Structure 1
Amino acid sequence: MTMARRERQGLVEAMRSAGPEAPTLCAEWTVRDLAAHVVVRERRPDAAPGILLKPFAGYLDRVQTKVASKPFPALLEQVRTGPPWWSPLRPVDAVVNLSEMFVHHEDVRRAAPRWQPRELTAADEDTLWSQVRRMASMSYRKAPVTVALRTHDGRRVVARSASGGVVVTLTGKPSELLLHAFGRDEVLLETSGDADAVRAVLDLDRSV
């Protein structure tokens, strides 16, 4: 089973355990709202463009609201089974849905009080590091200083190069770096660099 598939199953179990009205790290979304988002992204190609394109956001909201009104068990089943056979996402699920499933799994877990990080295998952390490298430049493109992402074993990628010579380094496990790159603040990271520059990076809009 691919990591994307395992994270999908973990997401469903976390949603079921938390309940439909529990909070998530996705702004004001409840678990029900997050489940509806996943379903629309994978099963409503007519509405999914609204996730990234503002002119279509209104239609997306209407569709997602309707989907969210379904019985919660039915929503979870659609999340669990993933993209339908006709979806272009299905053949590439292991690639395009890995970050999506991992981040949303943690969106549910880390919205709970006293959350604890999971212990992932070294192989899974390596897989997530490849995702960090792929999206780092997009996530930190608005940074006013140079941003470097570093793992505890010394792997490093420059996410943003800026003039001025000021460098902020974020150090942590690939899983934590990936969550931060996706705009999440409930992460375990070490920072180094000028204090004001560090604060600017931590406060950055990292939406992609």
Structure 2
Amino acid sequence: MTDEPKVKGLAFRSVYASFGKLRGERLQKLSLDEMSEPLRDGIRYGSLVSTGWYPIAWYKDLFQAIRRTSGEGRELIHQVGRQCTRDDMSGIYKVLAALISPSALFSLGQRVFSTYYSVGRVQVIESRRGFTHARWSGCYGFDESMWTEVIGSCEQLLELGGASHVRLRIIAGGGDHDDGLELTAHWS
């Protein structure tokens, strides 16, 4: 692939804001010192805009900076994914989410994926009451933190749709250097 994969600026802003909500403004601001200069300046001076597309390397750098600053690992990134989805689905979207089934809401999530990432696609393989099986493919450049955020987001999306006791299981992928993820979700 000749072009580096890109991530929408909105995702950066959402992750950075969610980290602040979860761990406070002090740690949020400290994380800037852990970022590469272009990313740090983009966030600090507002030149990283919601509608812009930025290198996936910057997105991975954002997660690494959050992890280094907080001293936390995957669980925090999972929480960040959940928080991002809660924030993105606020207002009228939250009301609409409550009106459709968790599996239908999850299926809509596959369409949203391409608005945040320049690579990859999501396919819902099977979906029925209390169960969904999905596969992400072609997600070049993703790492464990990005997959962990995606998983947290999926879990929150199902809960916003009314699912309770959500249990997610990784079937394949979802680690560093994996360009795919296969995931099942069970809920009541």
Structure label with greater radius of gyration: 1
Higher share in strand? 2
Q: Could you tell me the TM-score, scaled by structure 1's length? A: 0.29
Q: Could you tell me the TM-score, scaled by structure 2's length? A: 0.31
